[in-house]
Structure 1
Amino acid sequence: MTFAAWKGELPTATTYFKKHKISKGETIAQSLKYRLDYGKNPDKTQGGELISSYECDHMTADAEFLLAKAKYKAATGREQRREADVLCYQIRQSFKPGEITPEEANKVGYETAMRWTKGKYAFFVATHTDRQHIHNHIYYNAVSLDYSRKYRNFLGSSFALRRLSDRVCLEHDLSVIQNPKLHSQGQYLHYGQWLGGDRRPSQKEQLRSIIDAILTERPADLPAFLAALEASGVQVIHGRGGVLSFQLPGFARPARWRSSTLGDGYGPEAVQAVIDGTAPVRTLNTGSARPAPRRLNLIIDIQQRMAQGKGPGYERWAKIYNLKQMAAALQFLQEYGLTDYDELAAKTDAAVDQEHTLAGELRAVQEELTHTAALMGAVVQYAKTRPVFDGYKAAKYSKKYLAQHEAELADYREAKATMNDLLDGAKLPKMDALKQKRRELTERKKALTAQYRAAQKEMRELVTAKGNIDHLINLTGGRADKEQTR
């Protein structure tokens, strides 16, 4: 069975994140008011009915944001340069047409904003209904509510926001984008690019696809490449200075043939390199390795817990908790591209086997390291006490000498016995060889520990996700379970 039946196949909820700075020729107040007024436009928000706010009044948000900015400066004494100063941040969150009502969209936007800001920054959510797709404009202040800090954007913030929005949407039974990086530049696509058949691809997108297809056929030279373009319906326009432009039917303006227009790898030099065989044909870039998902927890058997005397309050909490854990499991499966139950089961079994294998290797290395360290300690102790034993032997095992050096002689006997046990008849290696072996084992242990922790984490995530999915489709233990209370 596939998981696609549980969530919509079409890509929907998308996010866009940006920071607003002061525009040239405007004051701070003018720049901020202009941006917030766009979001609050009554023609887009059903007369202002689709606006919700936190720790501010959306009607006076621009003045409140500016006041917070002044209080921040007074409290901290810090002030940024005018051109670098961030007035506020905006999140745009779009939804699939027909999947959500404006009121529900506003609630989802409010929850997303609250979890993104952690309740430390004032914000308001304006839901727009003037287009086919309902979308939220979320504005939050750059200054915290206690005026002690300013929000600092961080590397990967757009991706973190998208994951948070996906999680909230899954918890509200809304579909999400399953693969945010599709085209060859590896950039996140905006809402329009995700509409698929409902939206015609842009001229640049179509040109890139046509160029990729032609290059896979390995044209003999540049004229053959241009001839193939024209055969594909592309008009090749020769401009001044030998500059070429491409234009497809239905588009008003041509696109110049250069990498800054069509993207890296699609300019004349890059195409010529592929034709000459000095560069490979471009392949689809699906992005970098997936980030580690958040930790999953098993869903709760509500019926069993209620039988133990839990109250109605616990039941309500458990239902919400289970919904969130199932959303986390589904997001985990989407990020790992697992859409088939058998594939999930196989990957889970493989992860368990890998974790057990690495655990065994790590134990073996640790035992060998312990053995080597113990042998080195015994050798050192033997070398330190051997002169004492030689003196005892030279004194013909004198009782007086024994009484004077009893502790050293005991250490000698213990060291010798330890060496005999550890060597088990083998030849004693030199100390330099033992040190080298210990260094190698230490490095091996370090590498195995990192691999083991990663494998253990993946195993736990997969086992938990599979357990939650098993519970959902009543397959746990290979028998039909009682349906969970909804």
Structure 2
Amino acid sequence: MATLKHLGSKNADYGAAEQYLLFEHDEFTMKPVLDENGRLIPREDYRLSTLNCGGEDFAVACMRSNLRYEKNQRREDVKSHHYIISFDPRDGPDNGLTVDRAQALGEQFCKEHFPGHQALVCTHPDGHNHSGNIHVHIVINSLRIEEVPFLPYMDRPADTKAGCKHRCTDAALRYFKSEVMEMCHREGLYQIDLLNGSKNRVTDREYWAQKKGQAALDKQNAPMIAGGITPRQTKFETNKEKLRQTLRKALATAASFDEFSSLLLREGVTVKESRGRLSYLTPDRTKPITARKLGGDFDRTAVLAVLEQNAQRGVTVRYTPQHQAARAAEQTAAIPEYLHAGKGRLQGEKTGKIDPRQDSVQRLVDIEQKMAEGKGKGYERWAKIHNLKQAAKTLTIYQQYGFSSPEQLEAAVATAYQEMRQTSGELKALETKLQGKRELRQQVLAYAKTKPIREGLKAQKSEKARAAYRQANESDFIIAEAAARYFKAQGLTKLPGRKALQAEIEQLISEKDGLYNTYHEQKQRFRELQTVKRNIDQILRREEPHRRKEQSHER
């Protein structure tokens, strides 16, 4: 999955951002790493480009613009914005994502969503935790040096004007996340729903607290391990993570909200509800932790849904630690985690390099045909071993699905194909609807941009003045009239609100994300079953001559 992170910087030294991208930095202190001679150590691999800098260095170009418009001169001013797009580690082996391709995507994203800003785009091939995730850094000067079109995340006239500053509002960040999701869908990359949060929400601060705590614990345990003593604790857990585990244990055994609250109270945790939202107060705190800061599994809707499931299953509450541990293990099915969500930098866990194709079944090789084509003895030896391995995998999968005959397998292949085609049709219909909403949004924004010009026409007193005014602003009136024709063709008598339209588009993107992942799972299952069917057919065809030969001997 791709994630998007934003950082605002008040550092007036624009060169510091470039230095961070080009040279090695300590992951804890964020200070440059120096060699034995006290010199900076360059990063091994990266791609770097600048936009709208006029051939100058990024730092020099930004400082010139700031002086020209007399902006970013105060200490408290946000001088630059830093956006990080981190891709899934599996996108490299599975989807062909390279550093060069990611750099091109980053540059395109910057041009589309941060026009008029001086920018620095840099791509690194790996994260600091060596998870293999390619990620793109986009650093922009907060000052805009050119007038730009009215973009969907903008809500003020000043957001389009030169000499004004970029604002990363909540609405803007949601828009950027939706565009990252659309980019990954378009490019065929792994992606999760960034708009509706995650089951476990680990902030950047908690992530680094866990990393530093683990490093300190490892240092503390090192002498004991060297002496052959097994440490009592080897994994560091933050207070929030401990609270999550306590909540999951309570959810695993409770069948009502009162029982849930009672179980937590035994652990010293008090549940509070305010305006339909839950928060949890631990003994070591005076201010409760809201469910939003812990993750989507612990908000009121999710908690009540799990309690209702427990009640329907007839869960009997027991307060023994053994029972709680057993139910906690079972509850992983009731509260599923995102399989691909935030297992990298923001979530505090290392994501391994997984290539599903290594474990998937592959087609058997027709050795006789290949030998007839001129393959040598070496290929024949490899093909025999390959066929043995794939035949074993084929039979294992055949048994796992519970098939008792080739006819059942053939029916399963047909069903999987129909499910995949149905989801594909729903996905195409949703994409068409989304495209229509995007086009409507574009026309609404264009029409809104011309509002001052259209109102200025009404202020003209004479026909001659109106004609001169229209001629002076001819391009704006052409845009407004084209938008008006579009609204008329669509049968719109009242234009939708921009915020409501954007929220509808984001909802469609979330639905598309779910269908997108479902389609790929169904497609993978169909291909697996199809390969199993072809292998089974080939095995049966290969065994058929032997059966006929045995029958002829028996006669």
TM-score by length of 2: 0.32
TM-score by length of 1: 0.37
Q: Find the structure with the greater CA-based Rg.
A: 1
